[in-house]
Amino acid sequence: MHNLSLTQLAAGLRSKQFSSLELTQSFLNRINSYQQLNAYVTVSSELALQQAEAADRRLASGDATPLTGIPLAQKDIFCTQGIKTSCGSKMLDNFIAPYNATVIDHFNQAGAVMLGKLNMDEFAMGSSNETSFYGPSLNPWATDCVPGGSSGGSAVAVAARLAAAATGTDTGGSIRQPAAHCGITGLKPTYGRVSRYGMIAYASSLDQGGPMARSAEDAALLMQVMAGFDSKDSTSVDQSVPDYSASLNDSLQGLKIGLPKEFFSSDLDSRMASTLLAAVDEYRKLGAEVVEVSMPTLALAIPAYYVIASAECSSNLSRFDGVRFGYRCHNPADLTDLYTRSRGEGFGSEVKRRILMGTYALSAGYYDAYYLKAQQVRRLISEDFKRALNEVDVLMGPVTPSPAFKIGEKTGDPVQMYLSDIYTIAINLAGLPALALPAGFIDDKPVGLQVIGNYFSEAKLLNIGHRYQQVTDWHLQQPHGFE
């Protein structure tokens, strides 16, 4: 059962080939068998079985949605009432959320089953899942390699079939990068398309939740539940939600694809370039036209991103002070000692590094030189994308500079770690949607193709992904030992 797509699982539940209770227990057994992957922070077995029983009753009554009774897992950044929501941090290791994030409510209303909460880089700050307080998740394709981050646990759970699908969040590539490293499909929606209410903030103007699944077809079903306006989120966009599954099979005849020459420069590994260009050739066979475009401001994306994201994280994480919730140091001498030791002991080194960078960028005398300048560069990057997407329908390129790297390989060099997101960060600065698709292998490790669209073009991106997956089988490949 664990190898079936969401559509196949839904059909099996409706036809009574198996019950949600049986399906859920099957996934719980797999989670228990593959604990060494460290994909889950919390396994909510009791809740999952209760939800499965409720789903079976709902299925029997005929009041079911496409996701009713299907076991999913949530990134541990979405607040979940009555269950630990840790954000991968010691700071929130004891935090039991008193309410549900809107995304969690949407899945509950759809009748989905929640298997648990998934491992992640601490407060979503990382590109490898190695900054988690709970240790790194292991890439099932090569367990000595990282799964990517920050949504590494989500990618591992889907790739190893420890959940039928999962949620992730993407601030600078944190859905797409682990999706590429683990050979699954990940969609970063347009900023404002998915509610951020109850999604613990890292960088408020960049964070966006999205689906992580085996295929574009499965991601479309998840997006149908996740997307929509939320009055509780001031960054949510009030725009109608299309039927994401309705256009999956639309023809790609005449589709105009742009290849940014800055993405395919000599800096890109030649094996990566040839693998991705072979994927682009499949689109030519499907009727697409491919042209080269230029986006000269892309080189400025990483410095602009790390100034803006660090500044916003400095502000957002100031609430974790040891007073109201989360970790508190033992026997503080006074208020200052409470603040400094709680934050010093509760946060990991990468989170501290970004808080310090952000506080510096926002400080008197440096705001104009760093933060304001980065926001101006952000506008230039957005204009570059606007010009390119006026010329073509979508842009295509790499998700990552290389396949998954070894655990510990880059932890001693933060700059090299930051460069892991060189091809994804600009999309978040512009607020655009982008899709990561499995597109081949290098050294037996998955490689991802990135498809970037215009604002609110998620349905078109999913259509483009689905048509590619109808003529290729990269998304059907399974890591050895986890079949």
pLDDT at 415: 87
> Among 392, 169, 427, 364, which residue's Cα sits nearest to residue 293?
392
pLDDT of residue 474: 98
State yes or no: is 75 an active-site residue: yes
**Of 89, 128, 132, 174, which one is the catalytic site residue?**
174
3-class SS of residue 295: coil
What pLDDT score does 1 carry? 87
**For residues 271-285, average pLDDT:** 97
How many contiguous H segments (helices) and E segments (strands) does the chain have? 15, 11
Of 44, 150, 245, 457, the active-site residue reads: 150
What's the mean pLDDT when you consider all of the chain?
A: 96
- Per the DSSP assignment, residues forming a β-bridge with 187 are 435
If 0-12 CB within 10 Å is exposed, 13-18 middle and 19+ buried, where does residue 121 land? buried
The domains of the chain, with CATH numbers, are 1-483 (3.90.1300.10)
Q: What mean pLDDT do residues 360-378 have? A: 92
Q: Which of 5, 20, 44, 75 is catalytic?
A: 75
Tell me, what's the pLDDT at 87? 98
Q: What is the structure's pLDDT at 8?
A: 96
Give the model confidence (pLDDT) of 399-438 as tens digits. Answer: 999 999 999 999 989 888 988 899 999 999 999 999 999 9
For the stretch 243-273, pLDDT in tens is: 999 999 999 999 999 999 999 987 888 999 9
pTM (2 d.p.): 0.96
Residue with tokens 């209760």: 50
- 204 belongs to the catalytic site: no
